Amino acid sequence: MSKIRKIVIPVAGYGTRFLPFTKSIPKEMLPIVDRPVIQYIVEEAVAAGITEVILITGYSKRAIEDYFDYNLELEYLLEKSGKLAQKKMIRDISDIAKFVYVRQKEQLGNGHAILQAKEVVGDEPFVMVWGDEVYKGTPSKIEQLIATYEQYQGPVLSVMERTADSDYDKYGYVKVKEDKGNGVYELSEVVEKPGVDNKISPYAFISSCVLTPDIFTKLEQQTAGKGGEIWLVDALNALLQERPTFAKELKGVKFFDCGNKLEYLKATVEFALEREDLGADFRKYLQETIS
């Protein structure tokens, strides 16, 4: 059984929902207190056993590459000033994993972005997470996905129960073929944004997943779909015709879509409240402001 040791994180998108900020700074670099969104994602992956982080980048994403690189000048200045803890902190960020950067020269869909990782991933299963999603909770989302893959040896999609009418226009949904128990479902179809009149299930595909390397073949075979783009959902539907594909309903975790302004603000508040150095004072401030 192949151990999952790689994660693919597409980060090449423009982040138009956060303009004008994202005109020059990647949305993945939005800070939640004092760490960017992308760092939370990488730290979760490493804690789950991932050792290699593959970032699918674009020409405007150099800030992400620089963030995980060494900054020898800054380290020298920190050491000279006796700020050894700060020096260690920024060096640890760079040493947390092996980083590989692959440029997506054209933005031709989310499936096309994942396809760029084919040569780096090779013949291994891997985790795929979008670069603006943050989760909190234990066991982590990635730990739950990997455990499910290890049990069933097939692709695993993360799902959460979402039943508001508006959600069916926001998320993809999975159609269940068989309930395996413990929040695991074998799938018969994945439908992108099915709409309120096509409620195929209560389980929304929250896009993080474990994929097997045969997904690349399906992505290469895909013709352009909606909007003239290559979609991961289309490749998944082709794949599940040939091999069992599963969904894992995430338990005990909270999901924040940090590409959404309100969700980003919620994430900032919740993570700040958990900080030992800020939480008590910040909670007091919020209570005084709201009252």
What is the rounded average pLDDT for all residues in the chain? 92
Q: Which helix (H) or strand (E) holds 93?
A: helix 84-95
69-84 residue pLDDT tens: 999 999 999 999 999 9
Mean per-residue pLDDT, 223-236: 84
5-24 residue pLDDT tens: 999 999 988 888 888 888 88
Q: Which two tokens stand for residue 268?
A: 């900032």
Whole-angstrom Cα distance, residue 188 to residue 86? 50
pLDDT of residue 1: 55
- Domains of the chain and CATH, by start: 6-256 (3.90.550.10)
- Answer for the pair 43, 50: CB distance below 8 angstroms, yes or no: no
202-214 residue pLDDT tens: 999 987 999 999 9
Whole-angstrom Cα distance, residue 249 to residue 236? 18
